[in-house]
Structure 1
Amino acid sequence: MKNKTIALLGAACFVSGAFVARVADNELSVSVLQEAQKVFGLHFSDAQLDSTVSELEDLKKSYEVLRKQDLPNSVAPALVFNPIPVGFTFETQKSAFEVERPQGVKLPKKRDELAFYTIPQLAELVRTQQITSEELTKFYLSRLKKYGPTLECVTTLTEELALQQARQADKEIKAGKYKGMLHGIPFGVKDLLSTRKYKTTWGAMPYKDQVIDEDATVVQRLQEAGGVLMAKTTLGALAMGDVWYGGKTRTPWDVNQGSSGSSAGSAAAVAAGLLPYAIGTETLGSIVSPSTACGTTGLRPTFGRVSRHGAMALSWSMDKIGPIARSAEDCAIVFNAIYGPDGKDQSVYDAPFNYSPSINPKKMRVGYLKGDFAKKYGFRENDQATLDALQKAGVELVPISLPDLPANELAMTISVEGAAAFDELTRSGRDSLLVAQHKNAWPNTFRTARFIPAVEYLQAQRVRSLLVQQMQEALQDVDVYISPSFASNNLVITNLTGHPCVVVPNGFRDNGLPTTITFMGKLFGEAELLSFARFYQSITPHEEKHPSMDFSKKKKS
């Protein structure tokens, strides 16, 4: 009876409005429901449970009907997360995007130094035809082939396409049809963004040969800006960690260490000078974490800023797409090309991005999470040095605190939405093909999520609404604020509320690995946020540090 009860338990548990599994030829009973309700912490009487049995049996039949509907990962729920609190407004007037062109840029005597040039520097070389896009593309292709296998940061090289796009860019530039700073500049995209004719593997064994024959909106927009797609970069399987079906992505600062995840390959490739910039995504730290492990600058935009059309869905209400690059200004240039509605992702807002050199960071109201900075943690000295540098430069820091709500408990959002996104993977048993099978890996997380009642998920989203509103109140007196990159409350809260962040390198640990600090912005406040991050990088040298590429000194174990 005990085994039967456990087997039937799955059939009596709601998950986002659906029962976990159908147990063939078995009917529900009061005794089964008595056991099932213990999972939920409920205490209905036998009489009350008896009244529900027939309706639950009918619902089981409904689930079977619904499961016959074809629901690819690209189909979003009818419910769309709204990050905008009551009383919040964003700018509606759009001004011209402005970035100062660097003066006197020349090709370096040592060609390898070109690998670490910023986008404006590379753009100036291409614009003035000191180097062709094809030459630049071949340069980065050679580095990808040389160092990529050691870092395990690439799933697919798009070499044929890249050379074709580079030659086209050269023709356009020579004809005087220069499109801007991304014209002729190579880039990579995290391999959960679809690309025509090339595999989109999601980093996971069950999908390693998958071809989604369309360009994701972000890919399309970068190519329209003249960009040259070089590579699909690795991600931890289904956007978790740095372990993918082909191995473990490494940080170029120490190839014995993983690059964290899940935008593992994008951060590693940029840090190693294999790409000028790459696209990453974040649901709960997937830009912040690998940027820290690799010492890159990463932008996680406001939720609803960048279309996710063509991107693998993990959490429809939390997934965000942003650039990983060498500097805040590089991120601004890329973001300017990819943000805004596309008519396909209904979560995207039509809000302007008015980035300009006229924004004065010294006039911004800057907060900092005093309580988090006061705690003891591994690279506190570097973070304190960041605060000191800003104050010395004339920035006044005002202590603030975040809402005191159970944010960590709301992380079930990812589990439930992820379980729905990969429902077929779980029910088919193909989740056994994923490399990671430990307790905290996706297979178990998705199975566990089947036991989360739809009512509890919706109650969590109601608490999330309170969080959105209270964040608005907490930030009403500041334009940006500063947080340790791994202050867990800040990372969780702001991913739930959809606030933007820029993570920038700010030093090194004793073991030689880089550290970062996080600058947070208001909703849709990327222009001010990136301007502030750019200001910090103008008074510190951290983003200019690069790893030694002699990996033989630290052989991978």
Structure 2
Amino acid sequence: MNKIYKSLALGVACFISGAFVSRVADDKVTVAVLQDAQKLMGLHFSDAKLDSTLSEIADFKESYEAIRKVPLPNEVAPALVFNPIPVGYQFEQQKIPFEVARPAKVKLPKNRDELAFYSVPQLAELVRKQQITSEELTKFFLARLKKYGPTLECVTTLTEELALQQARQADQEIKAGKYKGMLHGIPFGVKDLLATRKYKTTWGATPYKDQLIDKDATVVQRLQDAGGVLVAKTTLGALAMGDVWYGGKTRSPWDITQGSSGSSAGSAAAVAAGLLPYAIGTETLGSIVSPSTACGTTGLRPTFGRVSRDGAMALSWSMDKIGPIARSAEDCAIVFNAIYGPDGKDQSVYDAPFNYNPNIDVKKLRVGYLKNDFGGEYGFKKNDEATLETLRKAGVELVPLELPELPASALTLTISVEGAAAFDELTRSGRDSLLVAQHKNAWPNYFRAARFVPAVEYLQAQRVRTLLVQKMQEKLKDVDVYISPSFASSNLVVTNLTGHPCVVLPNGFQENGMPTTITFMGKLFGEAELLSFARFYQGLTDHEEKHPNLNFGKKKKS
């Protein structure tokens, strides 16, 4: 118990030894130092009380030094695992086989460039019926990546040798009647924070641009087990923030003077430009939603605890999520079906079924919408209103809904604190100066500032987060799906903290020609209903079928 009491004092002075300022381990901590320290935390202990903590704090400093001598690579997770499941929640018990209808009468187009924007089922049917080989399809997408990738700055590594090997193997298996399903022989890309054997995993950041992690992330392995062909590692903003990486700035194919946003920048840009049929992204706080909006793609952010993060760069162990970016909701469902579920490595993953039914009667779904968020004035309100009206005309009743009233934005310190722990060595070694972005709101500064967050306040934030999880369950007890503007930061923050899934999908364009999206939210582990609902909406519109003109001309610099 003595250790527990010591942790209380840690809240007052943890930053002293944690800060990267020019202090050495044997600097003496005095009452005067602690007087200044407690001002940062809004504490008001008397001098006598502070004096009584001095010996304990000295012990803590020794503990810090001992802990820092233990090698802690990014892949080592804390012993604490975030639990998104509210009290009283129950999983579905039955698991239904996954089925998606095969498109009828798909033919190889005379203009091969049209393949760039075929759906996964369309490409799958061409490959299954051997109208085109996986090797031919792979070479087609590799050629597009080589042609347009440099302009969009969306690729860190082409995995060409591996891709051709996997494609030839797929052709042999399909020819022998060993067809594995719709992803068999289909090229794909992964965000370059997922480990790939024999190819660099750069995390988009200069300090790691030559990093080799000799393993395949679980997601990569599962897609390859499904017969997928890995053709590219796609860019991400350095250490999963924004669209600026060590090689440049990833561009939106709709306007290359504008960035693709991030951090799943390259995945969204490459899919939107028809350089990949689908790609894998990740999200901690908007990293699938935001680039999908900038690039006009459909993205799925699954429930926290759905997809293993083994082999993925950790930024926030309690908030990181992995999901597909593709052309349509159904494409996302096909990819998600291949990657979800426990792997025995990531202890946060739950064994819950994904019972996708593309023919669900969506009129029986209880659909909410964030009335207040749609009520204000914003740039693409007309597109969002048109989405709501389209659904109403299709017979969907929309019920007003509001989010819990808790200070969710204050809880985002979670990312800074966990990120600072994940990149502790980078900060203390000073190598954070190698990152391209060094402005006030860049990672180096966030990681340094996080050293001043007391452990007590971090844990208090997680306790408030528990309340948020429970209150969201209460809010959604009578709703299967709800709709939010993609720009609504309150919804983005709340649901990334609670772990709820979302599908972001295109719903029009701004006056400047850039795409807009709308966000459909699901209940925890409710990806099946969510994706079915998104598929229904996309069946009413053709927004996902619009594609950018790739006659870029000379690349303009922002």
TM (norm. structure 2) is: 0.97
Q: Please list the CA deviations of residues 176-233 of structure 1 after superposition, one character each: whole Å capped at 9, or x if unmatched.
A: 0000000000000000000000000000000000000000000000000000000000
Say yes or no: does 1:58 pair with 2:66.
Answer: no
Match of 1:6 in 2: none
Unmatched 5+ stretches in structure 2: 1-9
Distance (whole Å) between structure 2 residues aligned to residue 413 and residue 128 of structure 1: 49
Q: Which moved more, 1:339-348 or 1:546-555?
A: 546-555
Match of 2:37 in 1: 36
Q: Is the 8 A contact 1:203 1:234 kept in 2?
A: yes
Say if 1:424 and 1:12 are closer, same or farther in 2 by CA, change over 3 A: farther
Q: Is the 8 A contact 1:195 1:213 kept in 2?
A: yes
How many Å apart are 1:282 and its aligned residue? 0.1
Letter of the 1:352 partner, please give it.
Answer: P
Letter of the 1:14 partner, please give it.
Answer: C
Distance (whole Å) between structure 2 residues aligned to residue 296 and residue 445 of structure 1: 30
Say yes or no: does 1:525 pair with 2:526.
Answer: yes
Match of 2:14 in 1: 14
Distance (whole Å) between structure 2 residues aligned to residue 186 and residue 232 of structure 1: 12
How many Å apart are 1:362 and its aligned residue? 1.7
Q: Is the 8 A contact 2:217 2:312 kept in 1?
A: yes
Match of 1:4 in 2: none
Distance (whole Å) between structure 2 residues aligned to residue 254 and residue 335 of structure 1: 29
Match of 1:7 in 2: none
Letter of the 1:127 partner, please give it.
Answer: R
Q: Please list the CA deviations of residues 7-54 of structure 1 after superposition, one character each: whole Å capped at 9, or x if unmatched.
A: xxx997426x97435534420000111111111111111100100011
Distance (whole Å) between structure 2 residues aligned to residue 471 and residue 263 of structure 1: 27
Match of 2:329 in 1: 328
Q: Is the 8 A contact 1:500 1:525 kept in 2?
A: yes
Q: Is the 8 A contact 2:11 2:454 kept in 1?
A: no
Distance (whole Å) between structure 1 residues aligned to residue 211 and residue 248 of structure 2: 18
Distance (whole Å) between structure 2 residues aligned to residue 421 and residue 26 of structure 1: 26
Q: Which moved more, 1:47-56 or 1:18-27?
A: 18-27
Aligned counterparts, 1:240-389, within 5 A: 240-389=241-390
Say yes or no: does 1:396 pair with 2:397.
Answer: yes
Match of 1:5 in 2: none
Distance (whole Å) between structure 2 residues aligned to residue 13 and residue 190 of structure 1: 38
Aligned counterparts, 1:211-230, within 5 A: 211-230=212-231
Say if 1:13 and 1:245 are closer, same or farther in 2 by CA, change over 3 A: farther
Match of 1:405 in 2: 406
Q: Please list the CA deviations of residues 77-119 of structure 1 after superposition, one character each: whole Å capped at 9, or x if unmatched.
A: 0000000000111212111001011000011121111100000
Letter of the 1:20 partner, please give it.
Answer: A
Q: Is the 8 A contact 1:13 1:450 kept in 2?
A: no
Distance (whole Å) between structure 2 residues aligned to residue 26 and residue 408 of structure 1: 36
Distance (whole Å) between structure 2 residues aligned to residue 150 and residue 349 of structure 1: 40
Aligned residue for 2:503, secondary structure, equals strand
Distance (whole Å) between structure 1 residues aligned to residue 321 and residue 281 of structure 2: 9
Q: Is the 8 A contact 2:262 2:291 kept in 1?
A: yes
Aligned counterparts, 1:186-197, within 5 A: 186-197=187-198
Match of 2:7 in 1: none
Say yes or no: does 1:535 pair with 2:536.
Answer: yes
Q: Is the 8 A contact 1:11 1:19 kept in 2?
A: no
Aligned counterparts, 1:421-432, within 5 A: 421-432=422-433
Distance (whole Å) between structure 1 residues aligned to residue 195 and residue 554 of structure 2: 37
Q: Is the 8 A contact 2:235 2:245 kept in 1?
A: yes
Q: Is the 8 A contact 2:151 2:555 kept in 1?
A: no
Distance (whole Å) between structure 1 residues aligned to residue 442 and residue 138 of structure 2: 37
Q: Please list the CA deviations of residues 426-462 of structure 1 after superposition, one character each: whole Å capped at 9, or x if unmatched.
A: 0000000000000000000000000000000000000
Distance (whole Å) between structure 1 residues aligned to residue 233 and residue 178 of structure 2: 28
Letter of the 2:14 partner, please give it.
Answer: F
Distance (whole Å) between structure 2 residues aligned to residue 47 and residue 417 of structure 1: 33
Distance (whole Å) between structure 1 residues aligned to residue 289 and residue 61 of structure 2: 41
Q: Is the 8 A contact 1:253 1:513 kept in 2?
A: yes
Give the fraction of aligned pairs with identical amino acids, expressed as a percent.
Answer: 82
Match of 2:203 in 1: 202
Say yes or no: does 1:68 pair with 2:35.
Answer: no
Q: Is the 8 A contact 2:86 2:469 kept in 1?
A: yes
How many Å apart are 1:378 and its aligned residue? 0.9
Distance (whole Å) between structure 2 residues aligned to residue 295 and residue 221 of structure 1: 26
Letter of the 1:126 partner, please give it.
Answer: V
Distance (whole Å) between structure 1 residues aligned to residue 51 and residue 124 of structure 2: 71
Q: Please list the CA deviations of residues 265-319 of structure 1 after superposition, one character each: whole Å capped at 9, or x if unmatched.
A: 0000000000000000000000000000000000000000000000000000000
Say if 1:554 and 1:393 are closer, same or farther in 2 by CA, change over 3 A: farther
Match of 1:161 in 2: 162
Letter of the 2:345 partner, please give it.
Answer: K
Match of 2:102 in 1: 101
Match of 1:118 in 2: 119
Distance (whole Å) between structure 2 residues aligned to residue 388 and residue 368 of structure 1: 12
Distance (whole Å) between structure 2 residues aligned to residue 81 and residue 141 of structure 1: 39
Match of 1:142 in 2: 143
Q: Is the 8 A contact 2:92 2:352 kept in 1?
A: yes
How many residue pairs match? The answer is 547
Aligned residue for 1:552, secondary structure, equals coil
Match of 1:462 in 2: 463
Q: Is the 8 A contact 2:272 2:547 kept in 1?
A: yes
Distance (whole Å) between structure 1 residues aligned to residue 263 and residue 392 of structure 2: 34
Match of 2:545 in 1: 544
How many Å apart are 1:357 and its aligned residue? 2.7
Letter of the 1:355 partner, please give it.
Answer: Y
Q: Please list the CA deviations of residues 115-139 of structure 1 after superposition, one character each: whole Å capped at 9, or x if unmatched.
A: 0000000000000000000000000
How many Å apart are 1:556 and its aligned residue? 4.3
Letter of the 1:436 partner, please give it.
Answer: A
Q: Is the 8 A contact 1:12 1:19 kept in 2?
A: no
Match of 1:418 in 2: 419
Match of 1:89 in 2: 90
Unmatched 5+ stretches in structure 1: 1-9
Q: Is the 8 A contact 2:359 2:532 kept in 1?
A: no
Match of 1:48 in 2: 49
Distance (whole Å) between structure 1 residues aligned to residue 17 and residue 85 of structure 2: 29
Distance (whole Å) between structure 1 residues aligned to residue 358 and residue 493 of structure 2: 31
Q: Please list the CA deviations of residues 462-490 of structure 1 after superposition, one character each: whole Å capped at 9, or x if unmatched.
A: 00000000000000111000000011110
Distance (whole Å) between structure 1 residues aligned to residue 142 and residue 81 of structure 2: 40
Distance (whole Å) between structure 2 residues aligned to residue 102 and residue 426 of structure 1: 52
Letter of the 1:302 partner, please give it.
Answer: T
How many Å apart are 1:238 and its aligned residue? 0.2
Distance (whole Å) between structure 2 residues aligned to residue 45 and residue 123 of structure 1: 71
Q: Is the 8 A contact 1:11 1:20 kept in 2?
A: no
Distance (whole Å) between structure 1 residues aligned to residue 417 and residue 445 of structure 2: 12
Distance (whole Å) between structure 2 residues aligned to residue 512 and residue 419 of structure 1: 38
Q: Is the 8 A contact 2:238 2:244 kept in 1?
A: yes
Letter of the 1:524 partner, please give it.
Answer: F
